Amino acid sequence: MINTKLKIADLIYSYLKGSLSDEDKFALLKWKEQSEANKQLFENLLKKESYITKSEIYQKFTDQNRFAEIQKYIRKQKIRSLYKYAAIAAVILTPLLITIMLMYNTPLSFKKNQFSDSIKPGKSTALLYTADGKIINLEAKEFEIKDPSGTTITNKNKSLVYRKNNTQKEIREEQIVKAVVPRGGEYLIELSDGTKVWLNSESNLEHPITFVKNKRIVKVKGEAYFEVAHNKSKPFIVIAEDTKVEVLGTKFNIRAYKEEGYTATTLVEGKVRTIAGNYKPVILSPSEQFIYNKKKEEYITTEVNTELYTSWKDGLFVFDKQRLEDILNTISRWYNVDIFYDNDRLKSIVFSGRLKRYDNAENLLKIFMAIEDVKFDINGNTILVK
């Protein structure tokens, strides 16, 4: 038991230090969700406005779990949170920057050419791979065509829409197409049944032009937000890596980037049934999240603030006590940039706040610089954090 608790203490320290692997992150999250006491202890450590050492984390466990004090001290690690600035925590970008300048009664200065306007936010862009091998650039032109089945396909106003015709021919086989969104992109797709799908950066959606089977099945890689049209006689099924989500009509987000090693399903409205690995189906209620770790073949369910996982489709980045490394990993896909660190210590700085998704990258970086002693060097689409 003591060894287990010491292991958790090590995981928490590694999390704050920025050296926690994806597998260990999953183990830490699983421990945190086992009890309210675990959650509270973890939150208290993140809120600590001082230097944290490994021995302090052990001492916290000593107070709560009654095991021997450990004297081994290691290097200090600083963490901060935007919550320290309570009066400005909910303000977005430019107003936040101005408020900080007023608080300190001094303008923020930046080196000339330190930032480059070349790093623009992402945009609505995607490629459509058709069943007959054609590739259509959806960003390049608007169009309206009629499929041989009679379905009207319209690409207009940054969205791709399929419309069934009441008089269209009977179809026996579904024609599967794939919409691919690159890094630095997003796209809205409305399927033939009326279901809306927001595709995030570096994601793709395999889907039929028209649903003709007794189940509506699509496949996702990357991240997508669904608003599923209700049809009790035809369940809607999303396949993402090793996870299958079955719904009748609901709103949910699914994240399944292969390199992250897990699939996360976050339910906003309705109910969904999630199936992963060899486990029995798990029913989710609103505000619940299902995470399946592919490598460990384990899953957890937890209650979450859904805005943290769905705000991207509404033009915002919302963070709540998240490490800078995790924030920049999310941002890097949208701005199509590569992130490198001069010092691993910087990865563990903790921020909370709301940032505009469609602003240039320099605006976001200025926020981080205003709050914490961190600098950014930009060279083309590469950012060095130091």
pLDDT digits (tens, 9 = 90+) for 299-327: 999 999 999 999 999 999 988 888 899 89
Establish if 288 belongs to a structural domain. yes
Establish if 16 belongs to a structural domain. yes
Which residues does 36 contact at the CB level (< 8 Å), separation at least 6? none
Q: Is 12 helix (H, G, I), strand (E, B) or coil?
A: helix
- Per the CB < 8 A criterion, the answer to whether 273 and 265 are in contact is no
Establish if 186 belongs to a structural domain. yes
- Of the candidates 246, 277, 308, which is a domain's last residue? 308
- Per the CB < 8 A criterion, the answer to whether 243 and 223 are in contact is no
CATH number at residue 138: 2.60.120.1440
With 50 as the cut, is the pLDDT of residue 180 above it? yes
Region 174-201: what's the mean pLDDT? Answer: 96
Helix (H), strand (E) at residue 223: strand 216-227
Rg, Å, the chain Cα set = 23
Higher pLDDT, 356 or 245: 245
Q: What single-letter DSSP state applies at residue 248?
A: S
The token pair at 376 is: 């950014």
Helix (H), strand (E) at residue 176: strand 176-181
- Per the CB < 8 A criterion, the answer to whether 371 and 379 are in contact is no
User: Residue 118: what pLDDT?
Assistant: 64
Mark whether 212 and 71 lie in a shared domain.
no
- Of the candidates 273, 308, 343, which is a domain's last residue? 308
Establish if 117 belongs to a structural domain. no
The strand pairing partners of 340, in sequence order, are 384
Region 66-80: what's the mean pLDDT? Answer: 35
CA-based nearest residue to 139, from 156, 153, 163, 152: 156
Which range is least confidently modeled, 175-179, 183-187, 282-286, 322-326? Answer: 322-326
Q: Over pLDDT 70: what percentage of the chain? A: 76
User: Residue 115: what pLDDT?
Assistant: 54
- The pLDDT confidence band at residue 136, using thresholds 50, 70 and 90, is very high
Mark whether 132 and 273 lie in a shared domain.
yes
- Per the CB < 8 A criterion, the answer to whether 16 and 45 are in contact is yes
Region 37-41: what's the mean pLDDT? Answer: 78
User: Residue 112: what pLDDT?
Assistant: 41
Which residues does 339 contact at the CB level (< 8 Å), separation at least 6? 328, 329, 332, 383, 385
Residue with tokens 């699509």: 218
Report DSSP letters for 17-76, one per residue: HT---HHHHHHHHHHHTT-HHHHHHHHHHHH--SEE-HHHHHHHHHHHH-----------
Higher pLDDT, 46 or 94: 46
Mark whether 208 and 143 lie in a shared domain.
yes
User: Residue 77: what pLDDT?
Assistant: 35
Q: How many CB atoms lie within 10 A of CB 15?
A: 21
Domain count, the chain: 3
Mark whether 303 and 319 lie in a shared domain.
no
Establish if 115 belongs to a structural domain. no
CA-based nearest residue to 341, from 349, 330, 333: 349
CATH number at residue 356: 3.55.50.30
CA–CA separation, 357 and 354 (whole Å): 9
Mark whether 294 and 172 lie in a shared domain.
yes
User: Residue 173: what pLDDT?
Assistant: 83
Mark whether 103 and 40 lie in a shared domain.
no
CA–CA separation, 27 and 107 (whole Å): 43
User: Residue 224: what pLDDT?
Assistant: 97
The token pair at 309 is: 């996982």
User: Residue 219: what pLDDT?
Assistant: 97
Region 81-89: what's the mean pLDDT? Answer: 34
Region 224-248: what's the mean pLDDT? Answer: 93
Mark whether 153 and 64 lie in a shared domain.
no
- Per the CB < 8 A criterion, the answer to whether 267 and 247 are in contact is no
CA-based nearest residue to 26, from 310, 333, 290: 290
What sign does the CA torsion over 279, 174, 196, 122 have? positive
Establish if 353 belongs to a structural domain. yes
Domain that holds residue 368: 85-109+315-385
User: Residue 6: what pLDDT?
Assistant: 60
Which range is least confidently modeled, 101-105, 189-193, 197-201? Answer: 101-105
Exposure of 249 in the CB half-sphere (CA atoms within 13 A)? 8
Mark whether 361 and 285 lie in a shared domain.
no
Which range is least confidently modeled, 167-181, 217-231, 276-290, 317-331? Answer: 167-181
Q: Is 105 exposed, middle or buried (0-12, 13-18, 19+ CB in 10 A)?
A: exposed
- Per the CB < 8 A criterion, the answer to whether 158 and 358 are in contact is no
SS3 content of the chain, % helix, strand, coil (to 5): 30, 35, 40
Establish if 116 belongs to a structural domain. no
Mark whether 342 and 209 lie in a shared domain.
no
User: Residue 256: what pLDDT?
Assistant: 94
With 50 as the cut, is the pLDDT of residue 92 above it? no
- Of the candidates 308, 326, 356, which is a domain's last residue? 308
Mark whether 98 and 244 lie in a shared domain.
no
- The pLDDT confidence band at residue 362, using thresholds 50, 70 and 90, is confident
Mark whether 324 and 261 lie in a shared domain.
no
- The pLDDT confidence band at residue 5, using thresholds 50, 70 and 90, is low
Region 76-80: what's the mean pLDDT? Answer: 36
User: Residue 75: what pLDDT?
Assistant: 31
With 60 as the cut, is the pLDDT of residue 52 above it? no
- The pLDDT confidence band at residue 143, using thresholds 50, 70 and 90, is very high
Mark whether 73 and 90 lie in a shared domain.
no
Establish if 118 belongs to a structural domain. no
Q: Is 314 exposed, middle or buried (0-12, 13-18, 19+ CB in 10 A)?
A: exposed
User: Residue 333: what pLDDT?
Assistant: 93
User: Residue 19: what pLDDT?
Assistant: 65
